[in-house]
Amino acid sequence: MSITVLEHTLVPVCGPEDLEIGWGEAAWIDGEQIALFRTGVEEYFAVSHHCPGSEAKVMARGIVGDTTIDGTRVATVACPLHKEVYRLDTGHCLNADTAPLPVHPVVVHEGRICLEGK
């Protein structure tokens, strides 16, 4: 089921209570494996579940953390296999010259965590 709000298509995925802070969950959405993360009380991210390093479907089991870049806190996830660290907001890899992790915009709409533009 998808909802069109102000010309944006939103795909409801789950409620905030379904995501534990500091952990990831995998979801199958429109034929794609997505890794969802809750990194704060009201901070959510969605990225591909496939690690760009090997295409292994492991990112929801990654190690959630953060770092500071230019004075700003940035949420990160480290791949559980080879520990490449990706920004959750942009998908850029911080410790290797590898392809970025695809990211998906997340919004909270009517109490549901939704992917935007799917």
Which tokens belong to 41? 């009380």
CB of 87 to ligand FES, least distance (A): 14
CB of 93 to ligand FES, least distance (A): 9
Residue span 34-53 as binding mask against ligand FES, x where in contact by CB under 6 A, dash where not: -----------------x-x
CB of 63 to ligand FES, least distance (A): 11
> E strands of 7-102, at which residues?
8-14, 23-29, 32-40, 43-48, 63-69, 72-78, 85-87
Q: Which is nearer to ligand FES, 57 or 118 (CB)?
A: 57
| Interacting residues with ligand FES between 55 and 94 (CB under 6 A) | 56, 79, 81-82, 84
CB of 61 to ligand FES, least distance (A): 11
Q: Which is nearer to ligand FES, 11 or 79 (CB)?
A: 79
CB 53, CB 64: distance < 8 Å: no
What residues have CB less than 8 Å from 64, skipping those under 6 apart? 22, 23, 24, 37, 39, 75, 76, 77
* Separation of alpha carbons 116 and 118, rounded Å: 6
Which tokens belong to 48? 């591909």
- The footprint of ligand FES (CB under 6 A) covers 51, 53-54, 56, 79, 81-82, 84
